[in-house]
Amino acid sequence: QYAVAFLPGSNFYGALGEINVWNPKTLKKELSASQFWVTDGGGKDIDSVEVGWMVSPSISLGECFYAGQADGYNTGCYNVRCSGFVQTNRKIALGAFLTPISIYGGEQHLMGIKVYRDGQGNWWVNVLGQNLGYWPPNLFNGGLRGPASLIEWGGEVINSNPQGVHTSTQMGSGHFPSESYSRAAYFKNLQYIVDGGGLEDAKDITGQATRPECYDIQVQKPSREWGSYFYYGGPGLSANCK
């Protein structure tokens, strides 16, 4: 299930923004992720690169930074399990645990991420101003051998319907976007990259939630300090989410 802000278009050469970091409660065999998707727009043979943070007991013991790639979601993978990903940074590892974590009602901790396409068609991952590595163009079916046509930012939860009810796995901070700053999770300073490397504010994003009674999103009016931004997330199982 998703709560995302999306920006359709054409000729996107990358995306960037800042995510605040949380440690949502996550059930076994499920995951809770906050990430970017840079894709060719969908369809049977979708090409997608995904970067963000994730909590998944089946993949790691706690919260980690990750990057993933999928061609039609037939050969999708994460981190160093992606055999074609070329790691270039020896100091920051994919799958590394993230610290510190944002505190509900207290100090917030952010992670700046950029995904961009270079002149050779490689899709790079940059975190906190440092390149980590790239996916070469031969890993894709065709769509991301050129520029992307859809960017999404937001949260994802795998809901296995434990005991026949909706999961209690949380998204973001585990609180709804209506709680706002320091209590709800957020993305801010969302931008996209155009041909030639220029940056444009993602001011035309649209919010969409699979089940807003479980996990929701609220796109905010752009501000000078935060640029384009939104709050998102939720607790999952509740009186209204079954």
**Domain contains 239:** no
**Residue 76 in this model has a pLDDT that exceeds 70:** no
The answer to whether position 36 is within a domain reads yes
Residue 100, preceding peptide bond in cis (omega within 30° of 0): yes
User: Is 240 within the bounds of a domain?
Assistant: no
Residue 175 placed within a domain: yes
Catalytic residue check, 152: no
CA torsion sign, 68 to 69 to 70 to 75? negative
For residue 238, tell me if it sits in a domain.
Answer: no
Dist CA 58 CA 34 (whole Å): 17
Q: Is residue 242 part of a domain?
A: no
Task: Provide DSSP, 87-137.
Answer: E--SSS-TTPBP-S---TTS---EEEEEEEE-TTS-EEEEETTEEEEEE-G
Task: Give the count of alpha carbons within 13 A of 227, CB side only.
Answer: 16
Residue 73 in this model has a pLDDT that exceeds 60: no
Interatomic CA distance for residues 113 and 94, integer angstroms: 13
Q: Which position among 50, 63, 107, 200 bears the catalytic label?
A: 50
| Domain of residue 88, CATH code | 2.60.120.200
Q: Which pLDDT belongs to residue 60?
A: 56
Residue 85 CA: distances (Å) to CA of 49, 80, 194: 11, 7, 24
Q: Give 88 or 41, the one with higher predicted confidence.
A: 88
Domain membership flag for residue 63? yes
Q: Which position among 107, 152, 156, 200 bears the catalytic label? A: 156
This prediction has a pTM of 0.92
Q: Which of 31-35, 64-68, 175-179 has the highest mean pLDDT?
A: 175-179
Confidence class for position 63, pLDDT limits 50, 70, 90: low
With respect to residue 224, please indicate whether it lies within any of the assigned structural domains: yes
In the residue annotation, 50 being an active-site residue is answered as yes
- Confidence band of 77 (pLDDT split at 50, 70, 90): low
Band of the pLDDT at 97, cuts 50, 70, 90?
confident
At which residue do the structure tokens 């994802």 appear?
156
Structural domains in the chain (count): 1
> Does the pLDDT of residue 119 top 50, yes or no?
yes
Range of the domain at 196: 2-233
Amino acid at the residue 6: F
Average confidence (pLDDT) over 95-119: 93
The distance in angstroms from the start CA to the end CA of the chain is: 13
